[in-house]
Structure 1
Amino acid sequence: MEQAKLPSCYRHPGEETGVRCTRCERAICSRCMVNASVGFQCPECVRGGSGTGHSRTANHPRTIAGGRITAGRPHLVTQVLIGVNLLVFLLGSLNPALIDEMVLIGFAFDPDLGRVVGVADGEWYRLVSSMFLHAEIWHIAGNMLLLWLLGGALEEELGRARFAALYLLSGLSGSAFTYLIAAQNQGSLGASGAVYGLLGATVVLVRRLNRDLRPIMALVVFNLVITFTWDRIAWQAHIGGLIAGVIIAYAMVNGARERRAVLQGAACALVLGLTLVTVVLRTAALS
């Protein structure tokens, strides 16, 4: 006789479980169950009962990285980042001069502006502004698709603050690596650096959860092939973001719980510190 299949967790459809919330009776996996005075509760019921004596006995639910499990809009940061990228792309399409002011460039003379421009000339903001630039519709379409597919899952597992730090630091690392290696007068659009950071982080997370690595590894290989075979691609941003994403994500999902916050902070500080040192040394060499 065929064995009955267990229900799937309502927040993680791929996770089978025999545990149900004692209040709403929805199926919940080990990552979602919250200890209560009797049995377990789901994150929504814990929040819904906030202020009652029953809910005070429950611990705040946490993700694998220690972030709070958020109800309602779990992918808020991902949606905001997509919105910012789309807005910048629209503004750049309407006003191409805006792209010239935001693009990542080391040190060059701009005949249109009649002056020297670039990070080495004091325009450090270009390291950040270039993280939201795209050249063509296919460029932003591909990046936003990956951001939606990878960002949602990562934000859910890491929490909003940690996911935002992962995205921004990966993008900044990609910009710094481009600034270090690329020609000083070569303009670069560095939005893909942050997305490649999400690729690296997803590999780490999938391995940590003991899931099948083959789909994500195939996606990484596919994108790396494009990186090194397609003309006019800033491969430096891709590699810098990928490495940063792996380092940060490893620290976020590994290590003992009591030392987790310290390890995460140290990894983020290390990546940021190396990025700043890279920028300062490159600027000194170009000045």
Structure 2
Amino acid sequence: MSEPPQHSDQADARAPRTCWWHPDRRTGLRCARCERPACPDCLREATVGYQCVDCVAAARKQHQAQRARYRKSGFGYRTIAGARVPSRPLVTYTLIALNVVVFVITAAQAQDVMRNFQSEVMNLGVLVPLVAATGEWWRVITSGFLHIGLLHLAVNMFALWILGKELERVLGTARYLVLYLLSLLGGSVAVFAFSSPNTPVAGASGAVYGVLGGILIAVLRLRLNLTPIIAIIVLNLAISIGVKQISLFGHLGGLVVGVLVCAAMVYAPSRHRTGWQAGAVAIILAALIGAYAIRYAQLSALVWY
């Protein structure tokens, strides 16, 4: 007595079925993604095998949504300096807020917005080269966050708000912060080295000029029109020379350092770019420290003499 043939699961899987979208069409093909039976008209070639029209549409929609998120956040794109594009210029906003907070503290201590230079914080942080040479080295940094009067603060912060946002998008968050701080230090070291030893200097102008120099290099690297930015630099330098109360050396020091740092960022070879940038930054920092040390020795001898 014979038994009826047994159909295995594998044989059932190979058996022709009707297309999911065209029930009147028999097919032995399946979608590689959802495994639903599909006729040749309902399949599309994909990276792996063939997928049905629904799966292809879902993958396209998912890809478009992902690109939209990347475009919104900026994380999907790289700047000319090799950094990810920040979604918002948070460093610029933070620096502005920090300068404003410090100004409010000095104004509160002096109980006068326009005469805040009489505050204790101002006396402890303003850069007087001869005083800094007695061991109070921190003044070359703290002076960059102090402003004498409301107008001084407003001008610098407005310039930082206009220029800083653009440069931060070009360089990325970390590189932009490095440029700002080194430009601040460059302006202070120039004041320390070349200005009158007894003249007090304060303000973020050196750092702002460094940002301005960085914009110049970025525009040059992107091959854009240089005329507007050069005109701004020339006009500001003319004002710095014409107004005695403005520290020309602080502006020039910040401008030169900003140009050098930004050039190192945007012209670094793409191969081992981060290493080249870090090396250039280290050299610039070492040069500033060296210039400070030389002038420190000269002024120290003058103080003790």
2:122 aligns with one of 95, 99, 103: 99
Identify the structure with the greater helix proportion: 2
Question: Does structure 1 retain, via aligned residues, the 8 Å contact 2:70–2:76?
Answer: no
Identity level (%): 39
Q: Which of 69, 87, 91 in structure 1 is aligned with 2:85?
A: 69
Are 1:86 and 2:100 counterparts?
yes
User: What corresponds to 1:214 in structure 2?
Assistant: 227
* Aligned amino acid, residue 83 of structure 2: G
- What does residue 23 of structure 1 align with? 64
For residues 142 and 196 of structure 2, the distance between their equivalents in structure 1, rounded to whole angstroms, comes to: 19
Q: Which runs of 5+ in 1 are unaligned?
A: 1-20, 25-35, 49-58, 108-117
Q: Is the 8 A contact 1:43 1:61 kept in 2?
A: no
The letter of the residue matching 1:207 is L
Of 257, 263, 267, which residue of structure 2 is paired with 1:250?
263
The 3-state SS of whatever aligns with 2:205 is helix
Superposed, 1:136-147 pairs within 5 Å as 136-147=149-160
- Give the number of equivalent residue pairs: 230
Q: Deviations over 1:168-212 (max 9, x none)?
A: 000001101100011211111141000000010000001111111
The verdict on how the C-alpha distance between 1:165 and 1:282 changes in structure 2, with shifts beyond 3 A counting, is same
Instruction: Tell me, yes or no, if structure 1 residue 183 matches structure 2 residue 202.
Output: no
Distance 1:149 1:161 in 2: 19
8 Å contact 2:210–2:257 — kept in the other structure? Answer: yes
Whole-angstrom distance in 2 between the partners of 1:154 and 1:43: 23
Q: Which SS does the other structure have where 1:135 is aligned?
A: coil
In the alignment, is residue 165 of structure 1 matched against residue 206 of structure 2?
no
Residues in 1 aligned to 2:76 and 2:270: alpha-carbon distance in whole angstroms: 15
Counterparts of 1:250 and 1:273, CA distance in 2: 17
Task: Give the AA of the match of 1:23.
Answer: Q
Q: State the alpha-carbon separation in 1 of the partners of residues 164 and 96 from structure 2.
A: 10
| 1:42 shift after superposition | 4.8
2:70 is equivalent to residue 44 of structure 1: yes
Deviation at 1:79? 0.2
Task: Determine if contact 1:132/1:190 at 8 Å carries over to the other structure.
Answer: yes
- In the alignment, the residues of structure 1 paired with residue 72 and residue 151 of structure 2 have an alpha-carbon distance, to the nearest angstrom, of 43
Deviations 1:230-280 (A, max 9, x none): 121111110000000000001111132113212211221122111111111
1:70 CA displacement = 2.8
Q: Runs in 1 of length 4+ with deviation above 3 angstroms?
A: 45-48
Unaligned runs of 5+ in 2: 1-61, 110-118, 301-305
The answer as to 2:135 corresponding to 1:122 is: yes
Q: CA deviation at 1:69?
A: 2.3
Confirm or deny: 8 A CA contact 1:104 1:188 kept in the other structure.
yes
In 2 relative to 1, CA 99–63 (structure 1 residues): closer, same or farther, beyond 3 Å?
same
> Does the CA contact (< 8 Å) of 2:269 and 2:276 recur in 1?
no
Q: Deviations over 1:75-98 (max 9, x none)?
A: 100000000111111111122221
The alignment's TM-score, normalised by the length of structure 2, stands at 0.71
Cα distance in 2 for residues equivalent to 1:244 and 1:83: 24
Counterpart-to-counterpart distance in 1, 2:73 and 2:147: 40
Q: 1:231 aligns with which of 235, 244, 249?
A: 244
Q: Distance in 2 between matches of 1:43 and 1:252?
A: 27
Q: CA RMSD in A?
A: 2.1
Which structure would you say has the larger Rg?
2
Which is worse superposed, 141-150 or 160-169?
A: 141-150
Shift of 1:149: 0.9
Once the two structures are superposed, what CA deviation does each residue of 1:115-164 show, in whole Å capped at 9, x if it has no partner? xxx21111111010001111122211111111011110111111100000
